[in-house]
Every structure is written in C-alpha cells, then in structure tokens.
C-alpha cells in the first residue's frame, strides 16, 4: 500500500506541474478543439455548396426538371446563362460546373435516343471537380428517366440489380470520418508528448535529483506519470467527443461510450509508456520533438486510419501489428461507428494490453538506466 500511496501522490504532483505549464495547457485545448473541428470541416473532399450554372437550349419539361434537381447541400441554386457566357464566366471563376443541355433534348429521350449533355468543370477546384461530374451524371440520369421511352423495355434492364445501403453514415459525409480519425490521432500525439515532456521537464529543471534522494523506486515515478497524464488525456478526449465531435460537428455516436473509454484506458497504458521510452533516449525537449514527431507520423499513416491496412504491403501489415495504434484505430471505429459489443472487440483489447505490457517492461528498463546515469 505504501507504493500505491507514493504513486498516487506523485501523480498529484504531475497534475499540479501540468496546471502550471501554460504551453501544455494550450496544447491540450487546441488539440481537442480546433485540431478536431477544423479538419472535419475544411479537409472534406465531398461536393458541398458547389456553384453551378445551366445552359438550357431545349426549354422543355425535361430540361427544367434537371434544373430543379440540382439542390442543396450539394449545389447552390443553379443560374440560367446563355451559351456565349460559358467561357467568360468560367474564366472569372463564377461557377464550378456548367451543364449544357442540347436542343431537342426531351424529343431524343422520347425517341429512345442518346442526347449529349455537356458538363463543363473548373478543374482548379480539385476537391469538388473530381466527384462533381459523377454526382451530376447520376442526378440527370435519375431525373430524366420518366421522359425516356425505353425505360419499360425489358432489353434495357440490367442483368444484376445493385442496391447500396449505407447503414452507419447514410449520406456518406466524409467529415464524420475525419472527425473521429482526427480525435484518435490527437489522443496518440498528446499522450506521447505529455509523458515525454513530464520526464524531460523534471530533468531540465533539476527536480529529478530531488526525487532520487527520496525513498522512491523507478517504477513508482514511471507509473505516476502514466496515470496522471493518462487521466488528463481521457478527460480531454471524452470532453472533445461529446462537445466537439457530437455537439459542434454533429457526428452521431451509435456505440457504447463506456466501452470506448475502457478501450482508451487500455490504449493509453501502452502509448504513454512509449512517450516515456522516447524521452529516455534524448536529453532535451527539442531532441524529443525531433524523435517523437516521426514516430507519431508513422503511427498515424500506417495504423489504418488514413489508409486501410489491407491496402498496405503484407510485410508492413505484420510489422504494424506490434504497434498499439493499429488495434486502437480498429477498436474505435468498430465501437463508435458500428456499435460493436465487448464480445466483438475483446481480441483488440487483449492485443493492446499485451503490447502495453511489453512496452512498459522495456520502458521501465530504460527508465532505470536513465536514473542510474543521473545518480
């Protein structure tokens, strides 16, 4: 019980030290607010509020139906322009898309013909130009189907009918996925930096020498930093999940919040040990930053959040199985998006715990060597 009491009081000391560091407090607030909200709103590749114009050379019921089908939130209210205005308006950047409906458009549909509809795209708007023509094509096809004489012909029916249902993200909003993925990444980076900064802050300020003259053991110092900084990350992450992800961004959380919190605690057990391990390899905060940033970038890019793990080379997939963030990404997506139960995700929890045990054992060895060198 004496060791537990030491770990508790040392953790309180860590929390007090953190509360007096305005730079780290600003980092925590920024990481779980602006750093989650901004990418989910600005780094989205979906077509949203795209400016569009229509050149209606047919003036038929079918062409007016196409005009009325271009609705928000995909497009702004479409403007009717003349054919001669296309190039000047596109050069000025007034519209991202221009639809040119040819003469006799409805008549050709009635005769089972193939009228050519031209979609002119401003390719400088890369985020919308890639997907916009596909959206417009699908909208036009579904809109003009009642005016097509061949719709009842059995020869025109596809051999296989495909029906797609998006269960967990019905509108396929990319911002929902970006927000959750950004929260997962920020948990990793903050846990690494808080624990690493806690060790280096004491070394640079000379506090660690004062701790070494006390009847304390290395594992008490290490576990105090793990639980104190892990608690800060858990509180900040859960607040961000409710206030930013669910509140401001509007992402529905269908899974179990207690299960996610439990998995987060298991994950922090390993990733905080990783932060302490990195801090034992350097002597100053600038060196720690140069070492920690590449480590975090590799974890972020190769853990399955940015790119599906199955799309990576097989040797790389096997290597990433020894990184806890790989299993935490799968766990978080399964719980928050697909409402997974404990029976479904317990293998991921077990893997994170075993990796955490290995990281903790190795980190404790490195931590003891660092303290022995200081003595």
pLDDT digits (tens, 9 = 90+) for 363-372: 888 877 777 7
Considering the domain architecture, whether residues 99 and 177 belong to the same structural domain is answered as: no
Torsional sign, CA 114, 115, 118, 119: negative
- Residues 97 and 90: their CA atoms lie apart, in Å, by 8
Q: Which of 94, 121, 156 is the last residue of a domain?
A: 156
pLDDT of 79? 92
Residue 166 included in any domain? no
Q: State the chain's mean pLDDT as an integer.
A: 82
Query: Does 354 have pLDDT greater than 90?
Result: yes
CATH number for 140: 3.40.1710.10
Query: Does 118 have pLDDT greater than 50?
Result: yes
For β-strands 118-121 and 97-101, DSSP reports them as antiparallel
pLDDT of 82? 92
Residue 344 included in any domain? yes
Considering the domain architecture, whether residues 72 and 151 belong to the same structural domain is answered as: yes
Mean pLDDT of 165-189: 78
Q: Is 127 helix (H, G, I), strand (E, B) or coil?
A: helix
Residue 68 included in any domain? yes
178-203 pLDDT, tens digit each: 888 888 888 988 888 888 888 887 77
pLDDT band at 210 (very low <50, low <70, confident <90, very high): low
Query: Does 134 have pLDDT greater than 80?
Result: yes
**Residue 158 vs residue 217, higher pLDDT:** 217
Residue 165 included in any domain? no
Which structural domain range is residue 66 located in?
Answer: 52-156
Mean pLDDT of 300-322: 82
Mean pLDDT of 199-226: 73
pLDDT of 295? 87
Residue 72 included in any domain? yes
pLDDT band at 16 (very low <50, low <70, confident <90, very high): confident
Considering the domain architecture, whether residues 37 and 61 belong to the same structural domain is answered as: no
Query: Does 126 have pLDDT greater than 80?
Result: no
Considering the domain architecture, whether residues 57 and 37 belong to the same structural domain is answered as: no
Considering the domain architecture, whether residues 180 and 317 belong to the same structural domain is answered as: yes
Considering the domain architecture, whether residues 283 and 358 belong to the same structural domain is answered as: yes
Considering the domain architecture, whether residues 219 and 342 belong to the same structural domain is answered as: yes
Considering the domain architecture, whether residues 152 and 59 belong to the same structural domain is answered as: yes
pLDDT of 44? 59
Torsional sign, CA 122, 127, 131, 135: negative
pTM given for the model: 0.71
251-288 pLDDT, tens digit each: 888 788 999 999 999 999 888 888 888 888 888 888 88
Q: Assess contact for 178 and 39: CB atoms under 8 A.
A: yes
Considering the domain architecture, whether residues 181 and 99 belong to the same structural domain is answered as: no
Residue 197 included in any domain? yes
138-160 pLDDT, tens digit each: 888 888 888 877 665 555 555 45
Q: Give the bridge partners for 121, in sequence order.
A: 97
Mean pLDDT of 208-237: 80
Considering the domain architecture, whether residues 33 and 178 belong to the same structural domain is answered as: yes
Q: Which of 156, 182, 204 is the last residue of a domain?
A: 156
Q: Which of 100, 127, 156 is the last residue of a domain?
A: 156
Considering the domain architecture, whether residues 303 and 264 belong to the same structural domain is answered as: yes
**Residue 237 vs residue 126, higher pLDDT:** 237
Query: Does 248 have pLDDT greater than 80?
Result: yes
pLDDT of 375? 59
Query: What is the total count of domains within the chain?
Result: 2
pLDDT of 304? 79
Omega prior to 73 cis, within 30 of 0: yes
Residue 262 included in any domain? yes
Strands (E), the chain: 52-56, 79-80, 97-101, 118-121
pLDDT band at 302 (very low <50, low <70, confident <90, very high): confident
């Amino acid at each position: 019980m004496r060791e537990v009491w030491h770990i508790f009081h040392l953790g309180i000391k860590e929390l007090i030290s953190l509360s007096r560091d305005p730079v780290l407090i600003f980092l925590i607030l920024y990481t779980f607010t602006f750093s989650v909200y901004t990418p989910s709103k600005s780094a989205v590749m979906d077509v949203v509020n795209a400016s569009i114009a229509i050149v209606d050379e047919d003036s038929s019921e079918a062409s007016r139906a196409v005009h009325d089908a271009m609705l928000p939130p995909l497009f702004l209210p479409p403007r009717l322009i003349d054919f001669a205005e296309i190039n000047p308006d596109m050069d000025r950047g007034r519209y991202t898309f221009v639809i040119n409906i040819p003469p006799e458009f409805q008549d050709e549909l009635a005769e089972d013909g193939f009228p050519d509809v031209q979609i002119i795209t401003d390719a400088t708007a890369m985020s919308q130009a890639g997907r916009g023509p596909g959206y417009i094509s699908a909208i036009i096809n579904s809109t003009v189907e009642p005016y097509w004489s061949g719709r009842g012909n059995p020869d025109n029916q596809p051999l296989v009918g495909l029906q797609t249902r998006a269960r967990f993200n019905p509108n396929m909003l990319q911002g929902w996925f970006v927000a959750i993925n950004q929260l997962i990444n920020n948990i990793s980076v903050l846990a690494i930096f808080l624990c690493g900064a806690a060790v280096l802050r004491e070394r640079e300020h000379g506090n660690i020498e004062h701790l070494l003259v006390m009847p304390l053991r290395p594992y008490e110092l290490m576990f105090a930093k793990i639980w104190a900084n892990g608690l800060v990350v858990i509180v900040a992450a859960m607040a961000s999940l409710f206030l930013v992800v669910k509140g401001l961004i509007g992402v529905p959380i269908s899974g179990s919040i207690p299960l996610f919190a439990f998995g987060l605690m298991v994950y922090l057990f390993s990733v905080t040990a990783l932060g302490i391990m990195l801090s034992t390899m350097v002597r100053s905060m600038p060196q720690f930053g140069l070492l920690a940033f590449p480590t975090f970038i590799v974890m972020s890019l190769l853990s399955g959040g940015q790119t599906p793990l199955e799309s990576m080379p097989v040797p790389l997939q096997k290597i990433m199985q020894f990184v806890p963030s790989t299993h935490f990404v799968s766990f978080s997506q399964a719980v928050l998006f697909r409402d997974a139960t404990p029976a479904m995700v317990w293998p991921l929890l077990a893997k994170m715990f075993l990796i955490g045990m290995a990281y903790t054992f190795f980190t404790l060895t490195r931590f003891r060597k660092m303290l022995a060198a200081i003595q």
